[in-house]
C-alpha cells in the first residue's frame, strides 16, 4: 500500500519584496507517495531548484502548507525547530556532481549521516558496506572521491543518500555530469531503489530520454507546477 | 563521530604542516624574545651573584656601580672594616673595555679585585686564579682567548691564566678579571703627558687609589639593613643591600629593554593571531561547498564549528611544537644569552590556545553564513 510521503498545498516562494519581488513558485499543489519516482522537468530558471529545496526543508516557503511523512513541516512558518534534523533523518540528497566530502573516504562519506544521527560506528559501517556492495562499489571503501570515476562517485552519493533510511530522496540533475550509458544506469538504479526500498524519489532533470523511467512528471514553468500524464514506455525502463 | 578536522588535515598534510611550521617560526621567535629577556635578567645577576656580598657601598647619591658611575677612595675599606658586623670588605673596580683578538675587536667588562687574598668572584673552568699580581688575567671563554694567550690592555701585556664560562656583564659582554692595582691603573692612570699637565695646574695628577665599589660580607646574625644604616650615617656613602642591588639591576638597568622586548612579543603575538586567523579563514573559504553539503545533509552548527575550531587549535598546537623546536634549536646561535624555561613555554601555550580559538571566530562566522542551498546546482 502506498504511503503519502510529501503533501504540498498551494505552496509559493517569493524572493525580495515590493517592486523587485520575484515569485519563483506559484501555489504549487501535488503529492508524492512512497515507491514513486517523480521527475521535475522544466527550463532553466523555471523554479525547479526552488521547489526541490522547499520540499527538502532547505528553503522556507512564503505561503502554503508542506507535510512530510504525515508531519506538518510548514504552514505560515516552519513547524519544526530543527529543519536540519529532518533532513538528516528523513531525506536523502543526490546532487548534480557527486558532492562527496573530498577529505573523507568512501566509507566515511556514507557513514557520516548515520553517525550524526547517533548510530554506532560498527553498525553504520556495516550498513554502509552493504549499501556500497548493493550499488556495486563495495571494493572502493578506502578510496577517496578524487580516485573514483564519475559513475562510481555518483553511486557512492546514492549510497550516502540511502544511509539514513530516508522516506524521500531528492536528486538534482544526478545524471548531468555523466555520459548517456552511465546516466541511464544511475537512473535505472534509482528506479530499482524506489521499487525495492519503497522510497519516494524526486529527480530534477533536463534529460527527456529518461522520462519514461518516471512514474510521474511534474513540469515547472514560470513558477507554475503542472503534472504531465505520460504513457509508460515499458521497454525503455526494462532496457 | 568522524573527526572532520583531523580527516581534513590528514588529507592535506603537506599544506597543513608547512603552514604550521610557518606560524611555528613566529611562535618560536616569541619564545626566543622571552628567552632573551630571561637571559638579560640572568646575565645582569651573574657578576653580583659571583661576588655575592651582603652590602654594596657606592658613591653617595649614585646607583653604582652597575647602573651609574661611582668613585670611592680605596682606603675607605679600613674604616668600613671597623663597623660592627662587617666580616670582609672587598674593593672592586668595573670597566668596559675594547680589546683585540688578532684583528677582531671584542667588548669586554673588566672586574678588578684584590687577587691572592682568597676572594675569587668567578668560577674557573680551566687554569688557575691570579697567583702573582703582575700581568695575569682571567678571561671568559666567550672572548675567544685560550690559556696562555697574551692580551694587550692599556700599556701592558697580560697572560691568560684562567678561564670562566658564560660570565658576562649586564650588557652581555664577556668578563675579564684583573688584580685590583692593575685594574685601577687601567682605569684611573693618566698618560705621562696629562700627569705633567695636571701637576702644572696644581693638581696631584696620577693617583690611582680609587675604586668603584666595596662589596661587604657580614658576620652571621647581623641584619644587612641595620649595618647599611650605620655606614650611611657615619661614612656618608650610599649603601645597598644585595636585594636592592638586584632591584636596581633588573628594574633600572634592563627595564627599558624588557619593555622593548615585551612590545615586540605582543606585536609578534598579534601578527601570529592575525596570520592564524587569515589561514583559518582561507581554509574555511576553501571549503564553502563542503560546508554547504554538510549543512544540507543535516550537520548541525556544532559539528561545523567544532571542525573549524579544532583545525585552528591543531594548527596552533602544531605551530607551538614547531616553534619550540625552532627556539631550542636556534637559542644557542644568538650572541647573547637566551634562556628558555618550561613555565614561559607553558604560558605561551595557553596564549596560543586562546589566540587559536579567537582566530577561528572569523572562519566560524563565515561558515555559519553559508547557505546549504549553495550545494545544489553545478
Q: Which sequence spans correspond to the domains of chain B? A: 4-43+255-375, 46-250
Of B250 and A146, more confident: A146
Closest-CA residue of chain A to B294: A101
Instruction: Confirm or reject contact between A125 and chain B (CB < 8 A).
Output: no
Asked if B297's CB is within 8 angstroms of A88's CB, the reply is yes
> Is the predicted pLDDT of residue A234 greater than 50, yes or no?
no
> Is the predicted pLDDT of residue A239 greater than 70, yes or no?
no
Alpha carbons A112 and B293: distance in angstroms, whole number: 12
pLDDT of amino acid A186: 82
Asked if A101's CB is within 8 angstroms of B378's CB, the reply is no
Residue range(s) defining the domain that contains residue A40 = 4-237
pLDDT category at B189 given cuts 50, 70, 90 is: confident
Q: pLDDT tens-digit profile of B117-143?
A: 888 899 999 999 998 878 999 999 999
Instruction: Confirm or reject contact between B304 and chain A (CB < 8 A).
Output: no
Q: Cβ contacts of residue B56 below 8 Å, gap of 6+? A: B64, B65, B213, B214, B215, B216, B239, B240, B241, B242, B245
| Cα B136 → chain centroid | 30
Domain count, chain A: 1
Asked if B372's CB is within 8 angstroms of A89's CB, the reply is no
- Provide the H-helix boundaries in A76-105: 83-90
pLDDT of amino acid B376: 78
> Is the predicted pLDDT of residue A44 greater than 60, yes or no?
yes
Instruction: Confirm or reject contact between B368 and chain A (CB < 8 A).
Output: no
pLDDT category at A237 given cuts 50, 70, 90 is: very low
Which residues from A are below 8 Å from B299, CB to CB?
A: 84, 88, 116
Instruction: Confirm or reject contact between B373 and chain A (CB < 8 A).
Output: yes
Nearest to A116 among B7, B289, B303 (CB): B303
Which residues from A are below 8 Å from B377, CB to CB?
A: 49, 96, 172
pLDDT category at A230 given cuts 50, 70, 90 is: low
Alpha carbons B136 and B179: distance in angstroms, whole number: 8
Report the CATH number that the domain containing residue A94 is assigned in CATH.
3.40.50.300
Asked if A58's CB is within 8 angstroms of B373's CB, the reply is yes
pLDDT of amino acid A232: 52
> Is the predicted pLDDT of residue B378 greater than 60, yes or no?
no
Closest-CA residue of chain B to A92: B297
Which residues from B are below 8 Å from A93, CB to CB?
A: 296-297, 375
pLDDT of amino acid B24: 92
Selected residue of A51, A101, A202 to mutate for chain B interface (largest B Cβ count, 10 A): A101
Instruction: Confirm or reject contact between B14 and chain A (CB < 8 A).
Output: no
Selected residue of B376, B377, B378 to mutate for chain A interface (largest A Cβ count, 10 A): B376
pLDDT category at B377 given cuts 50, 70, 90 is: low
User: Residues B239, B248: contact at Cβ < 8 Å?
Assistant: no
Alpha carbons A89 and A107: distance in angstroms, whole number: 19
Instruction: Confirm or reject contact between A90 and chain B (CB < 8 A).
Output: no
Alpha carbons A201 and A36: distance in angstroms, whole number: 6
The total number of residues shown for chain A amounts to 239
Q: Report the DSSP beta bridge partners of residue A28.
A: A11
Strand A216-221 versus strand A37-41 pairing type: parallel
Asked if B298's CB is within 8 angstroms of A108's CB, the reply is no
The total number of residues shown for chain B amounts to 378
Instruction: Confirm or reject contact between A160 and chain B (CB < 8 A).
Output: yes
Alpha carbons A164 and A114: distance in angstroms, whole number: 6
Does the CA dihedral B125-B128-B133-B136 come out positive or negative? Answer: negative
Instruction: Confirm or reject contact between B333 and chain A (CB < 8 A).
Output: no
Instruction: Confirm or reject contact between B375 and chain A (CB < 8 A).
Output: yes
Closest-CA residue of chain A to B373: A58
> What's the gap in Å between the CA of A201 and the closest CA on chain B?
16
Instruction: Confirm or reject contact between B376 and chain A (CB < 8 A).
Output: yes
Instruction: Confirm or reject contact between A172 and chain B (CB < 8 A).
Output: yes
> Is the predicted pLDDT of residue B159 greater than 90, yes or no?
yes
> What number is the average pLDDT over the span A218-233?
79
User: Residues B216, B89: contact at Cβ < 8 Å?
Assistant: yes
Which residues from B are below 8 Å from A58, CB to CB?
A: 296, 372-373, 376
Cis upstream peptide for B356 (omega within 30°): no
User: In a 10 Å sphere around its CB, with 0-12 CB exposed, 13-18 middle and 19+ buried, how is residue A204 labelled?
Assistant: buried
> Is the predicted pLDDT of residue A19 greater than 90, yes or no?
no
Tell me which residues of chain B, numbers 121 to 150, contact chain A at a CB-CB cutoff of 8 Å: none
pLDDT of amino acid B216: 95
pLDDT of amino acid A175: 81
Alpha carbon dihedral B286, B292, B297, B298, in 10-degree steps, equals: 110
pLDDT of amino acid B342: 95
Amino acid at each position: 500500500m502506498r504511503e503519502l510521503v510529501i503533501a504540498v498545498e498551494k505552496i509559493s516562494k517569493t524572493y525580495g519584496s515590493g517592486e523587485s519581488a520575484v515569485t519563483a513558485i506559484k501555489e504549487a499543489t501535488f503529492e508524492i507517495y512512497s515507491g514513486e519516482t517523480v521527475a521535475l522537468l522544466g527550463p532553466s530558471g523555471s523554479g525547479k531548484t526552488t521547489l526541490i529545496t522547499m520540499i527538502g526543508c532547505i528553503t522556507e516557503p512564503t505561503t502554503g502548507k508542506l507535510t512530510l511523512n504525515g508531519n506538518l513541516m510548514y504552514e505560515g512558518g516552519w513547524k519544526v525547530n530543527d529543519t536540519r534534523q529532518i533532513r538528516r533523518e528523513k531525506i536523502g540528497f543526490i546532487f548534480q556532481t557527486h558532492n562527496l566530502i573530498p577529505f573523507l573516504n568512501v566509507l566515511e562519506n556514507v557513514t557520516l549521516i548515520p553517525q550524526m544521527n547517533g548510530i554506532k560506528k560498527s553498525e553504520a559501517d556495516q550498513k554502509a558496506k552493504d549499501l556500497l556492495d548493493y550499488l556495486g562499489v563495495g571494493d572502493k571503501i578506502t578510496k577517496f572521491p578524487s580516485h573514483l570515476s564519475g559513475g562510481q562517485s555518483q553511486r557512492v552519493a546514492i549510497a550516502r543518500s540511502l544511509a539514513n533510511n530516508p522516506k524521500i530522496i531528492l536528486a538534482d540533475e544526478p545524471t548531468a555530469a555523466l555520459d548517456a550509458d552511465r546516466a541511464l544506469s544511475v537512473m535505472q538504479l534509482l528506479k530499482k531503489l524506489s521499487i525495492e526500498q519503497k522510497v519516494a524519489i524526486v529527480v530534477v532533470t533536463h534529460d527527456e530520454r529518461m522520462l519514461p523511467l518516471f512514474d510521474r512528471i511534474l513540469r515547472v514553468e514560470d513558477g507554475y507546477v503542472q503534472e504531465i500524464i505520460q504513457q509508460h514506455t515499458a521497454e525503455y525502463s526494462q532496457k | 563521530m568522524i573527526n572532520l578536522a583531523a580527516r581534513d588535515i590528514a588529507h592535506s598534510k603537506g599544506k597543513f604542516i608547512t603552514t604550521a611550521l610557518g606560524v611555528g617560526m613566529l611562535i618560536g621567535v616569541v619564545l626566543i624574545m622571552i628567552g632573551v629577556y630571561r637571559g638579560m635578567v640572568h646575565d645582569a645577576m651573574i657578576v653580583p651573584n659571583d661576588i655575592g656580598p651582603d652590602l654594596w657601598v657606592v658613591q653617595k647619591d649614585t646607583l653604582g656601580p652597575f647602573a651609574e658611575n661611582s668613585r670611592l677612595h680605596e682606603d675607605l675599606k679600613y674604616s668600613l672594616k671597623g663597623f660592627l658586623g662587617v666580616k670582609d670588605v672587598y674593593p672592586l673596580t668595573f670597566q668596559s673595555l675594547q680589546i683585540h683578538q688578532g684583528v677582531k675587536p671584542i667588548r669586554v667588562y673588566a672586574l678588578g679585585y684584590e687577587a691572592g687574598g682568597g676572594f675569587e668572584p668567578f668560577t674557573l673552568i680551566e687554569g688557575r686564579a691570579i697567583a702573582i699580581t703582575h700581568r695575569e688575567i682571567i678571561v671568559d671563554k666567550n672572548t675567544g682567548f685560550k690559556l696562555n694567550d697574551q692580551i694587550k690592555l692599556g700599556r701592558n701585556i697580560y697572560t691568560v691564566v684562567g678561564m670562566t664560562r658564560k660570565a658576562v656583564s649586564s650588557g652581555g659582554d664577556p668578563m675579564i678579571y684583573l688584580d685590583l692595582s692593575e685594574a685601577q691603573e687601567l682605569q684611573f692612570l693618566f698618560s705621562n703627558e696629562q700627569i705633567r699637565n695636571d701637576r702644572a695646574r696644581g693638581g696631584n695628577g696620577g693617583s690611582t687609589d680609587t675604586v668603584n665599589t666595596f662589596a661587604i660580607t657580614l658576620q652571621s646574625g647581623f641584619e644587612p639593613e641595620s649595618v647599611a644604616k650605620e655606614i650611611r650615617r657615619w661614612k656618608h656613602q650610599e649603601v645597598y643591600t644585595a636585594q636592592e642591588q638586584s632591584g636596581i639591576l633588573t628594574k633600572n638597568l634592563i627595564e627599558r629593554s624588557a619593555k622593548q622586548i615585551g612590545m615586540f612579543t605582543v606585536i609578534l603575538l598579534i601578527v601570529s593571531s592575525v596570520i592564524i586567523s587569515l589561514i583559518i579563514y582561507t581554509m574555511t573559504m576553501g571549503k564553502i561547498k563542503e560546508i554547504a553539503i554538510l549543512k544540507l545533509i543535516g550537520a548541525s552548527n556544532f559539528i561545523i564549528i567544532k571542525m573549524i575550531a579544532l583545525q585552528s587549535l591543531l594548527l596552533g598546537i602544531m605551530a607551538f611544537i614547531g616553534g619550540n623546536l625552532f627556539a631550542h634549536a636556534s637559542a644557542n646561535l644568538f650572541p647573547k644569552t637566551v634562556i628558555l624555561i618550561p613555565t614561559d613555554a607553558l604560558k605561551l601555550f595557553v596564549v596560543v590556545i586562546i589566540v587559536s580559538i579567537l582566530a577561528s571566530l572569523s572562519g566560524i562566522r563565515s561558515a555559519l553564513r553559508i547557505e546549504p542551498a549553495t550545494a545544489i546546482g553545478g
